C-alpha cells in the first residue's frame, strides 16, 4: 500500500481525504513538529500539507523535511491563494501548490500522479 503523510490540523479534512483515498495509507500530523518527527519515522512516498499550522509556518516544515531528505515529495494544499505564498512554498521545496478551492477530485488526481511516480 502507498504511504502518504497529511500535515493538516483539520480533523474534518483528514477524514474527508481518508475516506476518498482508501487505497493509500495516510499518516496524519496536526503540527509542524509532529510532521517532521513522523516523516523521519515513516518515510512516506508523499507529504501533503497545509501551510497554516498551530505551531510553525508550513514553509519552515517544508525546509526542515527537505533538509533531511532532498528527494522528499511535498504537495502544499492551502486556503491561501496568493502568488507570493505559492512561489515561497515552491522555492522552499514543494513540488506542487494546490489551493483548497480546487476541490477534492483535483487534489486526489494530483496525489495519485505524485504517489505513483
| Tally of domains in the chain | 1
DSSP β-bridge partners for residue 27: 5
Q: Where residue 49 sits, what CATH number does that domain have?
A: 3.40.50.2300
Q: Which strand (E) or helix (H) includes residue 3?
A: strand 2-7
3-class SS of residue 76: strand
pLDDT in tens, 56-90: 999 999 999 999 999 999 999 998 888 999 999 99
Is the pTM here over 0.85, yes or no? yes
Domain that holds residue 57: 2-115
Residue 37 grid cell? 518527527
pLDDT in tens, 7-45: 999 999 999 999 999 999 999 999 999 999 999 999 999
Contacts for 102 with CB less than 8 Å, ≥ 6 apart: none
Residue 23 grid cell? 487505497
CA angle, residues 94, 97, 99, in degrees to nearest 5: 150
Amino acid at each position: 500500500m502507498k504511504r502518504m503523510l497529511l500535515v493538516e490540523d483539520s480533523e474534518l479534512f483528514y477524514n474527508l481525504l481518508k475516506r476518498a483515498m482508501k487505497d493509500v495509507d495516510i499518516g496524519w500530523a496536526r503540527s509542524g513538529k509532529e510532521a517532521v518527527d513522523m516523516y523521519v519515522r515513516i518515510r512516506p512516498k508523499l507529504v501533503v500539507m497545509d501551510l497554516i499550522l498551530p505551531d510553525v509556518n508550513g514553509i519552515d516544515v517544508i525546509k526542515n523535511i527537505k533538509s533531511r531528505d532532498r528527494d522528499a515529495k511535498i504537495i502544499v494544499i492551502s486556503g491561501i491563494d496568493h502568488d507570493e505564498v505559492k512561489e515561497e512554498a515552491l522555492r522552499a521545496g514543494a513540488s506542487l501548490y494546490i489551493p483548497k478551492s480546487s476541490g477534492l477530485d483535483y487534489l486526489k488526481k494530483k496525489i495519485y500522479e505524485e504517489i505513483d511516480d
